[in-house]
């Protein structure tokens, strides 16, 4: 690690003003991505602004039809929360599939979404469920938030405060883990909503998380596992690496989508 300064504000407003006033500041959430990056000397922030002691950044609540999850809420809390299970069981299930227990006890939903790793799980849920990201200055629809590999609509000094999930129809997430890292090789979140089916895919797209429109159309027309039979993802749009080429990822996407549909029940 390079040397850096460290701040641990108690209020989110202080965190925001530190982000504005300090030299090369960087927000620290669960540190599951940031700390390995620092250890490998791939980043050299001037100050780490640790969000872990800001009470109003974590916690889960339901207001009306909206489930609100504070940005600093750990994956383990989401996975085990009764509120999340009641409101959006597929989201809880997804959180329980992230990494391993140590990662789930440290990693946060805000950090995961801000990071927008193309193989992370939460982005699929946010996109499929039509989540809204609440920041210190605005509300961003998930569809406007994800901007490609590790890219988001966040400004340099912008802080995610919470993520809001509207009540949805039945949903399911099926994930094929990368055999080594356990991130998604193909993670498919399917929501059967009143206004149609949404299918969001992570781990596959060369531009990060995306909605598989062809599958959505097919499933909206007829919600059944075999409705996906005739369609296929273009292998050339899928990532290719040591663990699998585009054709394999395209196949996995289809299989995970079908298994999610089966889980929801046709």
Ligand X SMILES: Cc1cc2nc3c(=O)[nH]c(=O)nc-3n(C[C@H](O)[C@H](O)[C@H](O)COP(=O)(O)OP(=O)(O)OC[C@H]3O[C@@H](n4cnc5c(N)ncnc54)[C@H](O)[C@@H]3O)c2cc1C
Binding of ligand X at residue 27 (CB under 6 A)? yes
94's tokens: 């997804």
Question: Which of 177, 116, 179 minimizes the C-alpha distance to 150?
Answer: 116
Binding of another protein at residue 251 (CB under 8 A)? yes
In the chain, what's the furthest Cα-to-Cα distance?
Answer: 57
Q: CB-wise, 1 or 86, nearer to another protein?
A: 1
Please report how close the Cβ of residue 52 comes to ligand X at its closest, in angstroms: 9
Q: What are phi and psi of 152, to 5 degrees?
A: -135, 175
Neighbours of 11 (CB within 10 A): 13
- Answer with the entry of ligand X, another protein, none that 87 interacts with (C-beta below 5 to 8 A by kind): none
Binding of ligand X at residue 111 (CB under 6 A)? yes
Confirm if 145 and 113 have CB atoms less than 8 A apart.
yes
Among 206, 220, 248, 263, binds another protein (CB under 8 A): 248
Among 156, 180, 195, 230, binds another protein (CB under 8 A): 180
Among 8, 85, 182, 211, binds ligand X (CB under 6 A): 182
Residues 67-86 that bind ligand X (CB under 6 A): 71, 75
- Answer with the entry of another protein, ligand X, none that 58 interacts with (C-beta below 5 to 8 A by kind): none
Span interacting with another protein, options 1-9, 23-31, 104-112, 224-232, rule CB under 8 A: 1-9
E-strand stretches of the chain:
5-7, 25-28, 47-50, 60-63, 66-70, 132-135, 139-141, 160-166, 171-177, 184-193, 196-202, 210-211
Q: CB-wise, 99 or 208, nearer to ligand X?
A: 99
Neighbours of 181 (CB within 10 A): 11
Confirm if 67 and 73 have CB atoms less than 8 A apart.
no
Query: Per-residue x/- marks for another protein, 37-66, CB under 8 A?
Result: ---xx-------------------------
Neighbours of 257 (CB within 10 A): 28
Among 42, 82, 179, 195, binds another protein (CB under 8 A): 179
Per-residue burial over 57-96, b = 16 or more CB atoms within 10 Å of its CB, e = otherwise: bbebeeeeeebbbbbbbbbbbbbebebbeebbebbbbbbe
Give the interface with another protein as residue ranges (CB under 8 A).
1-3, 40-41, 176, 179-181, 242-245, 248, 251-252, 255
Residues binding ligand X (CB under 6 A): 26-34, 51, 71, 75, 98-99, 103, 107-108, 110-112, 114-115, 120-122, 154, 159-160, 182-183
């Amino acid at each position: 690690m390079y040397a850096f300064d460290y701040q641990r504000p108690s209020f989110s407003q202080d965190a925001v003003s530190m982000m504005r006033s300090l030299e090369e500041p960087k927000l620290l959430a669960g540190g599951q991505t940031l700390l390995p990056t620092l250890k490998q000397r791939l980043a050299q922030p001037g100050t780490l602004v640790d969000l872990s002691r800001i009470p109003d950044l974590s916690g889960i609540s339901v207001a009306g039809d909206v489930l609100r999850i504070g940005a600093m809420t750990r994956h383990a809390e989401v996975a085990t929360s009764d509120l999340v299970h009641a409101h959006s069981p597929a989201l809880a299930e997804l959180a329980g599939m992230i990494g391993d227990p140590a990662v789930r006890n440290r990693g946060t939903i805000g950090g995961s979404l801000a990071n927008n790793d193309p193989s992370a799980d939460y982005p699929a849920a946010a996109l499929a469920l039509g989540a809204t990201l609440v920041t210190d200055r605005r509300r961003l629809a998930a569809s406007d938030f994800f901007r490609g590999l590790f890219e988001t609509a966040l400004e340099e000094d912008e802080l995610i405060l919470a993520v809001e999930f509207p009540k949805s129809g039945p949903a399911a997430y099926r994930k094929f883990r990368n055999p080594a890292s356990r991130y998604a090789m193909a993670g498919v979140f399917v929501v059967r909503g009143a206004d149609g089916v949404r299918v969001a895919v992570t781990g596959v797209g060369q531009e990060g998380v995306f909605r598989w429109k062809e599958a959505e159309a097919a499933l909206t027309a007829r919600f059944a596992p075999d409705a996906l039979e005739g369609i296929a993802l273009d292998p050339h749009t899928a990532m290719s690496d040591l663990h699998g080429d585009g054709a394999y990822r395209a196949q996995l996407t289809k299989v995970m989508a079908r298994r999610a549909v089966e889980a929801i029940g046709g």
